[in-house]
């Protein structure tokens, strides 16, 4: 019986259909191995809105860098932003509810999927604005950030803003009456008018006439007892003292965070507001806050604000943090031209100077030479005056809290580099120390701290009254 023949595949001759099918399948398999799958869309992790008098900031935090285009539309004013590589999600939709009715620049925001992988944001504006759109690389606890800073076309004048709020006295007043009426004034009272005894007017005239005739007066002219003529006092007008208070951090930059969650930016703002109220109780004194809410102000702008109001003193308020929770005590710092007074001071200055990286300053529009120019212009006289007020404040703070260092320290803090303003930085306590964090949260301690700083400032101005200034342009 013949054996059945085995079935064998047809030979894969060139051009055969079977061979072409196998080659296509193999090529497809190879491409699937070598070609990566399409990348997933960028995910928006958080959205935040920070309204401020000077500008409004909108931040989108995401897991990778975003590419955007934007343009302005007039009548009514709108800002349109298209974000590539993005799919609309609930987090991004929540941006709509983040805009508050009292936002100075944004009326509302609309969010939608404009086309595949492109999300469009439309900001309906209350007035025309100048937008700055930039990205920030991951830093501290943040991932990638896309930032929209919406500035008014005409920058806010800090003095005009304070006048509108009734926080600015427009006319300097003579201090003599106020100082004598209220000994709490930081300025010394005008010295009392000097008096001198003069001869009787008729006797003096007779003496002069006799001298003209060559005949001496019959009797020497004697002063008339009890007759005094007051010499007019010098027209000395003590001008208003302007103090700039600078609560550190704010907005995107929380500063140091204590073990129980206290944030430096909140603590120092509360202390600054208490200090402002106490200083304004002193005659001839007006106070400006570089920020009066929870928003970020770049370091250079803090200095610029103080110079715009021609401040006589700049006081930056912070709360220390250290790698060890046992570090404690209050400190006062001033600028150093020759390096930090200690390694700890150098570390702290470097840490505080990173605020622009964390808070988010647009490097493309920042004046990159500002820091070096201001540093070069900082004079020995400015630092000497800063040391004087620093010592006065440190002595008063030492009465309510342990001092970390018994002397004023020096380091290259960026916010202390105004060339013409005595400037100090007060580290109120270590927020990283649980005991001191509890004190910083306490209203009573904040009040004592504000009292101590006020007394130190009052003593400094009593010994060093400010000179007259011409208005800067």
What domains are there in the chain, each with its CATH number? 44-152 (2.60.40.3500), 158-172+238-463 (3.40.630.40)
pLDDT of residue 281: 95
pTM of structure: 0.75
What are the average pLDDT values for consecutive 10-residue runs of the chain, which has 473 residues? 46 51 45 43 90 96 92 96 92 96 96 94 97 93 94 90 81 41 45 40 47 49 50 57 96 94 97 97 94 94 93 96 91 81 62 73 56 53 93 97 93 86 96 96 97 98 79 43
- Residue 267: closest CA among 400, 402, 432: 432
- Residue 153: closest CA among 127, 125, 122, 132: 127
- Tokens for 117, please give them: 């992988």
pLDDT of residue 230: 52
How crowded is residue 154: how many other Cβ atoms within 10 Å of its Cβ? 9
HSE-CB at 294 with a 13 A cutoff on CA atoms is: 13
Q: How far apart are CA 20 and CA 13, in angstroms?
A: 10
The answer to whether 319 and 440 are in contact (CB under 8 A) is yes
Q: How far apart are CA 313 and CA 129, in angstroms?
A: 32
pLDDT of residue 362: 73
Residue 371 dihedral angles phi and psi, to the nearest 5°: -60, -45
């Amino acid at each position: 019986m013949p054996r059945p023949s085995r079935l064998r595949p047809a030979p894969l001759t060139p051009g055969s259909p079977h061979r072409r099918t196998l080659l296509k399948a193999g090529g497809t398999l190879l491409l699937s191995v070598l070609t990566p799958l399409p990348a997933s869309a960028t995910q928006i992790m958080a959205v935040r809105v920070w309204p401020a008098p000077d500008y409004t900031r909108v931040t989108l935090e995401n897991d990778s860098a975003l590419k955007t285009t934007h343009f302005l539309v007039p009548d009514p004013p709108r800002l349109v932003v298209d974000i590539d590589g993005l799919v609309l999600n609930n987090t991004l939709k929540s941006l709509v509810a983040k805009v508050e009715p009292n936002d100075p620049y944004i009326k509302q925001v609309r969010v939608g999927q404009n086309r595949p992988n492109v999300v469009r944001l439309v900001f309906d504006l209350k007035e025309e604005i100048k937008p700055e759109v930039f990205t920030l690389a991951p830093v501290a606890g943040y991932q990638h950030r896309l930032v929209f800073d919406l500035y008014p076309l005409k920058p806010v004048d800090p003095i005009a803003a304070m006048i509108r709020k009734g926080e600015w006295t427009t006319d300097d007043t003579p201090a003599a009456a106020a100082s004598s009426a209220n000994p709490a004034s930081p300025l010394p009272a005008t010295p009392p008018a000097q008096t001198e005894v003069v001869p009787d007017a008729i006797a003096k005239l007779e003496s002069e006439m006799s001298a003209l005739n060559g005949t001496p007066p019959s009797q020497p002219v004697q002063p008339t007892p009890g007759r005094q003529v007051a010499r007019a006092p010098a027209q000395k007008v003590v001008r208003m003292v302007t103090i700039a208070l600078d609560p550190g951090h704010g907005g995107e930059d929380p500063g140091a965070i204590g073990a129980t969650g206290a944030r430096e930016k909140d603590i120092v703002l509360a202390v600054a507001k208490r200090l402002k109220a106490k200083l304004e109780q002193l005659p001839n004194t007006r106070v400006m806050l570089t920020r009066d809410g929870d928003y970020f102000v770049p370091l250079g702008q803090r200095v610029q604000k103080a110079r715009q109001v021609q401040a006589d003193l700049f006081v930056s308020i912070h709360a220390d943090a250290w790698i060890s929770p046992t570090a404690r005590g209050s400190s006062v710092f001033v600028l150093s031209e020759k390096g930090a007074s200690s390694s700890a001071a150098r570390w702290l200055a470097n840490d505080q100077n990173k605020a622009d990286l964390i808070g988010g300053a647009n490097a493309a529009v920042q004046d990159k030479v500002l820091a070096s120019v201001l540093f070069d212009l900082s004079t020995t006289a400015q630092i000497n005056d800063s040391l004087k007020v620093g010592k006065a404040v440190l002595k008063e703070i030492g009465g309510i809290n342990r001092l970390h260092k018994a002397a004023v320290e020096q380091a290259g803090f960026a916010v202390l580099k105004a060339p013409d303003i005595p400037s100090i930085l007060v580290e109120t306590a270590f927020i990283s120390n649980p005991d001191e964090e509890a004190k910083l949260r306490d209203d009573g301690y904040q009040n004592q701290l504000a009292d101590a700083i006020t007394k130190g400032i009052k003593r400094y101005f009593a010994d060093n009254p400010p000179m007259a200034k011409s208005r800067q342009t």
